[in-house]
Structure 1
Amino acid sequence: MSPTATAIVIPDNATSIAGSPSVGESKSVGVVSPMSIAPGSSEASAKSVSLVDELNTAWTHIVQSVTNRASRSESNVITVDLAPDESAQEFSTRLRMLLLVMNRAGGSVSATVSPSFKGDTYPAMLALVRGFESSGASDDWRPDGPRSIRMGNAKHLFVSVDMPVADRSPSPDALIEIVAAHRISSEWYDQRVSPRASSAGLTTVMFGVPNAPGSEYANSIFKRERTKNLSGRPGGIHFSRQTNWSATAAV
């Protein structure tokens, strides 16, 4: 996400949205409903959908924060605790779909930052493509660069810590989502993300596992920003199962 990056580094296969399986095969066009993505039958999918239901309050806060961004000058930082075996991918896919549909006329730039391309970024891109296909909107979006999706005037970028790509897109002005933030160092974040996270009214959402073992969590952006939110930072909101997913540090 560095504004000075110039080299595109991608593996030989499965690197871009355009190369995703089944993209463009469905010809039906429809209106996207972010909550209409059909979950799979696996236990992991069931857990993911259950988490989506639990995070309804967080969903409302995030969407309201993005929707009202033009009316405020400060940024909002939202941190969300997950269990070690939990994934927010279903939640995130629906959120990305909503943002693209909601802003396709007026325009917006949002981004997802993940630690690993193979383990996090590519599955997230594929889930978004399949979400549009399953909701009948496969003709409403298009790839816009190696790791970005465009719908009308709205664009969503995908960024990997371990495999960055050059991108000349404008900086995100709606949402930056940090996946597995407990595995991303605060030093990397400050160098590569913060310089492009200065838009007025920007919402940043971080999903992470609190108190993960090892030095990785100790130096992570999730620990730092979670601590600030729990300390009552203005514009900071924290969600945790321990508080029944209510906003515990909104100021």
Structure 2
Amino acid sequence: MLNVFYCEILKLKKSFLIWLMIFLIFGLNLTYFLTRINDSVLGWNAYILNTEMILFSFLGIILFFIATGHIICREYTEKTVSILYTYPISRIKIFIGKCLAIVFIILLIYTLNFLFVFGGGILLLKESVTSEILLLHLKMNLYSIIFQTILVPIWVLISSISKSTPLCAILASVIAGSNVLLLSFENLQKYSPFMLPFIPLATAVKTGEINITSNNILLAACTFLFAIILCLGYYLKTDIY
């Protein structure tokens, strides 16, 4: 399992996709920094929340779904899947190893975004960052990472069935577009598993603190368990060649 994870990381190092994702996150923060450079009344929370909203609500969906499609579908497009599943390692371990690689990408992108945001804020804003602001947004990112991780089995399942990275990109855009629409319908957000990564930010904006409800946890648990069961059933029962 760890060998599969390590192999995927080595592949990602040589892939244009991971560098493109890093460039997009850096470009997003740089663009926002340059457009706000003359804003003398901008505060920390307003500065941070804008880029976090973009990542949490729709950009993360697109990036991580496409990354999953790249990891899973590449085995089919490069015709290495028949070799992969002849190794003396179970399909479940291969599945877990690939999921860990996707989680690694999520952690990497969130970490870089966090560093870029606070680095830009230190350069741009006149007020000093407080420990309260730092801890609030650190917790917000951690909760969002957990919810993004919960969605990983869904991306893996769709990618495994479709075997097409372009199709994954189209579906990612559709889901991200639906999330954008749901931003205007607060009452409907709690019913969509794809809005879960945005919930920590939404509650923090509304109440000043992160408020994860039992309904959010139930939706996350049901989504994860349902997706995992389908994934394991697919990997164990389906002819993946």
Query: More strand by proportion, 1 or 2?
Result: 1
| TM-score normalised per structure 2 | 0.30
| TM-score normalised per structure 1 | 0.29
Query: More helix by proportion, 1 or 2?
Result: 2
- Answer with 1 or 2: which has the greater Rg: 2
